[in-house]
Amino acid sequence: MLKDLLTPQNANVFIGKLGDVLEKAIDKPLGYAINWGRIWSLWPVHIETACCSVEFGAASSPRYDVERFGIIEAFGSLRQCDLIVVQGTITRKMAPRLRLVYDQMPEPKYVIAMGACAITGGLYFDSYNVLPGIDGILPVDVYVPGCPPRPETLIQGCMLLQEKIKRMKARKFV
């Protein structure tokens, strides 16, 4: 029966179909495993853009210790990073650099907008040199409000991002 179906003309198609079936079967557990790995090793880029970096620094201090949630302190090259925490005001001089940094990061990458300035411009809504929020240049995953947000708020934002990653598609080409 199977032999009749498998002719040299349609062998490629058949194996392709078989692969699809197999992939559908293991896709869910595989995606879960991949996402699980991503959740617990988020590497933020070391880019400070304004004063919220003080509270970002405090979040990795011994009292708040964001590392226990899998957010590793910001060191190293941006080519191994997958999270960019935009720490406050983005000025017109910084905006092209921020986009340049984002473009150099490998996929998958996530963006947290930290502080009122990164969300809407905040206190500097009418300044001549400040962007009204970063949504115009980066796709934001989680907004963390506050001026500046307390470290607890930042930690909560990171946990929301982890929840979001859990429900994301692990691979794009399925």
Partner 1 sequence: MSLDSDNELVETISDEQSSITTNPTPVKEIELPKFEKGLADKIVEKFGSRTKVAFVKSNRVRINVSRDDVKEVAEFLRDVLNFDHAESVSGVDYPQDKEIEVVYHLGSYTDSSLSSQILVLATRAQREENPIPGNDSTKLPSLREIFYSVEFHEREVFEMFGVYFQGHPDNRRLLLPEDWADLPPLRKDFAIKGR
Partner 2 sequence: MIKELPPGLALQKVDERIMTLNVGPQHPGSGHMRIIVQIDGDFIVACDPDPGYVHRGEEKMAEYRNYITNIPHLERPVIHDSCNVLYPYVLGVEELLGIEVPERAKYIRVIASELNRCVYTMYWLAIYGIFLGHSTMFMWPAGDRELLIDLLEKMTGARVTHSHFVPGGVRNDLPPNFEDVCLRQVNYFEKRIKEYAAIFYDNPILIARTANTGVLSREDAIRLGTTGSVLRASGVDYDLRKKEPYDVYEELDFQTNVLKEGDSYARSKIPWLDMMESCRIIRHALQKMPKSGSVRVKLKPNPKGGDDSVYKRVESGRGSLGCYIVSDKKPEPYRVKLSVGSFRNLIALPYLLKGEKLGNMPSVYWSLNYWPVEADR
134 binds, among partner 1, partner 2, none (CB under 5 to 8 A by kind): none
Residue type, 124: Y
The mark string for 9-48 relative to partner 1 (x by CB under 8 A, - otherwise) is ----------------------------------------
Contacts of residue 129, Cβ cutoff 8 Å, sequence gap at least 6: 91, 92, 93
Contacts of residue 68, Cβ cutoff 8 Å, sequence gap at least 6: none
Block residue for tokens 């509270």? 55
In 63-161, DSSP assigns E strands to 83-87, 110-114, 142-144
CB–CB of 41/70 below 8 Å?
yes
- Give min distance, CB of 138 to partner 2, in A: 14
The mark string for 92-111 relative to partner 1 (x by CB under 8 A, - otherwise) is xx------------------
Using CB under 8 A as the binding rule, whether residue 106 contacts partner 2 is answered as: no
Using CB under 8 A as the binding rule, whether residue 51 contacts partner 2 is answered as: yes
- Give min distance, CB of 136 to partner 2, in A: 17
User: What letter does residue 150 receive in the DSSP assignment?
Assistant: P
Contact set with partner 1 (CB under 8 A): 91-93, 125-129
